[in-house]
Chain A
Amino acid sequence: MENNKAIVIDHLTVAYDAKPVLWNISCGFNKAQLTAIIGPNGAGKSTLIKSMLNFIQPITGSIAFSTMEDEQVPYKKMKNKIAYVPQNTTVDWDFPATVLDVVLMGRYGHLGWLKRPGKKDKNVAKQMLLKVGLPTFASRQISQLSGGQRQRVFLARALAQEADIYIMDEPLSGVDMKTEHIIMKLLKKLVEEGKTVIVVHHDLQTVEEYFDHVVFINQEVIAQGSIQGAFTKDNIDKTYHQDRNLGEGEG
C-alpha cells in the first residue's frame, strides 16, 4: 500500500510564531497521479507545500519521499527530484533576464555549485519552451509576457529540472483558457510518464475533470481519496463551511 505513495506525510504540525497553521496532518500523495490540494483561503495549502519543500520546519511529524528508485527518504536526498512552481507573483518581473535564462535556471540544481550550464542544458531548456508552446519567446525579456505566458515559463523551468515529483502552487490562478489548457495537457503527460504531480487548486468546477486524486485541507485533513470516492458535496461543505478551532475540544 505505502509503496505507491510518492510522498507520505505523517502527523505533521506546523506553526508560524506558535500559531498553528497545520494541525496533525497525515496524508499521502500517489505516485504517477495528479492530486489536487483543496481548501479555502488560509487553510494552510501553501504552508503544506512549503513544509514539503523544507522551507518551514514543522513542530512535529515527518515527511518522507520515495521515487522510482529510492524508498522513503527525507527531503535532503530528494532535492533534484522535486520541482516546485511557486505562485507567480513573487519575483521581480523587471529583472534583467530573458525567458531562456529563467528556464535555464531549472538546470542549475543538476549542475550543483560553480559548474556552468552547457550546450546540453540550453537544449533541454529550449525543448521545454517548445513544450509549453513558447518556442519563439526565448530571447524576450520576462516583463514582456502576459500572466499566462509567465506561468508557462515557470512551468518550463520546472520541466527543465527533469524531476520525479512536481509541486505547484495555484498554477492555474489568473491564467487564460489557452494557458490552462496547455498546462493541464502537460501535467497529464507528466503523469503518463510516471511522474507525480501535486497541485494546489482553487477552482472546484474543474476538479473532477482535471484530477485523479484529491486532498481536502482546512488546517487538518478533512478528507482524501480518489475523485470518485472523496470529491463529494459533503466533504466540500465540511472543508469550506465550518468554523474550525484547532486542536481544542478534541483528543
Chain B
Amino acid sequence: MLNQISLLLNDYTFQIVALGTGFLGLLSGVVGTYATLRKESLLGDALSHAALPGIGIGFILIQRKELSVLLLGALVSGLIATVIIQTMSKKTVVKLDSALSLILSSFFGLGLVILTSIQNNPNAQQAGLSNFIFGQASAMLLSDVQLIGVVGLGLLALVALFWKEFKVFTFDPMFAQTLGFSGKIIESLMSTMIVVTIILGLESVGVILISALLIGPAVAARQWTNRLSVVVLLAAIIGFVSGVTGTFISSLGERIPTGPAIVVVVSSFVFISLFFSPKRGIIAGHYANKKRQKVFMNQIQSLEE
C-alpha cells in the first residue's frame, strides 16, 4: 500500500492533475467566498449546468477537443443564461429560484441534445459524454494546468487589487455606491470571475459538482474566523487541499471519479468545521448553552434560598 502511494506521488501524470485540481480548488475557494457571502451560491450551480450547450457548440464548430475553444463556448452560454435569469427575476414577477431551476434544466437538456447529436448515438451512452458532466481530471494535460494557472493568477490579482472595493460592496452594496464606487463595475467584475472559475473547473470537476467547490471551502473557512482576509486565505487552503486529496483518493482507488471524490473531501471539511469550530461550532454552541443554563439555574436557586 505504502509502496503504491509513493509510486503515485512520483507519478508525473498524478503530479500534473493534482496541481491542476489543487489550484482550481484554491481559486474557487477565493472566488466562492464572495459568491457565498453575496448569497449567490446557487447561481453558480445554474451557470455551470448552463455551460454545457456552449461546450457542445464549441465542439461542433471546430470538430475536435480544443479546451480553450470549448471553454469559450461555455463562457458564452453561461453569460447568456445569466442574462436570462437576471431579466426573469428582476423585470417581472418570476422568483429567482424558479428562474434558476428552469434555466438550469433547459440549458442542460439542450447540452445533452447537442452532445447526443455529436456522438451520433441516440442513446448517448458512450464514454466521453460524461467527462464534462462529472469531470475527468485524469484527462488534464500540462497545457490545461497552465491555462488554469495563468487565468487563475489573473483572477487572484483582481481580488488583491480590488480587495477594498469587493469587501465593501459585498457587505453593503448601497453604501459602496454612496461612496462613489460603481456597483455595475464591481458586480460585473465579480460575476465574470465566478463564471470564469466555474468554466475552468468544468473539465476536472464537472458541470454538476463545481458549485460545491465554490460553496464548500467558503462555508468551512467562515466557521474558524471573523476576518474576511482570513476567511479568503483559509478557503483557498481548504480548496487546494480538497483538490489534491480528492485527486489522490480517486487515483489510488479503483474507479472513483475525481469530481465526486473532491466534493466528498470538501464536504468533510464543511462538516468538521460546522461541528468542531471552537467559537461557533455546533458542539461548542451546545456546551455554551448548557453552561449558560447551569449558571441561570444556580442564580435562580440562590435567589430562592
Which residues of A line the B interface, CB within 8 A? 53-55, 79-80, 82-84, 86, 90-92, 95-98, 101-102, 105, 108-109, 111-117, 141, 157, 161
Contact = CB atoms under 8 A, between A and B. Distances in A.
Contacts of B181: 108, 113
Nearest to A50: B174
Contacts of B275: none
Contact of B171 (A54, A92, A115): A92
A86 B164 contact: no
Contact of B231 (A55, A79, A96, A102): A96
B180 interface: yes
A98 B174 contact: no
A90 B172 contact: yes
A86 B226 contact: no
Interface in B83-121: none
Contact of A55 (B37, B174, B179, B226): B174
Interface residues of B, number: 27
Contacts of B175: 84, 86, 105, 157
Judged by DSSP, the binding face of B is: helix
B38 to A, nearest CB: 9
A79 B175 CA distance: 11
Contacts of B174: 55, 84, 86, 90
A219 to B, nearest CB: 23
Contact of A108 (B39, B168, B170, B225): B168
Given A95-B170, A105-B168, A53 B162 contact: no
Interface in B161-178: 161-165, 167-168, 170-172, 174-178
B49 interface: no
Given A111-B164, A114-B162, A97 B171 contact: yes
A182 B174 CA distance: 25
A161 B37 CA distance: 25
A79 B161 contact: no
A171 B179 CA distance: 19
A113 B165 contact: yes
Contacts of B167: 97, 101, 105
A55 B175 CA distance: 10
B228 interface: yes
Nearest to A80: B180
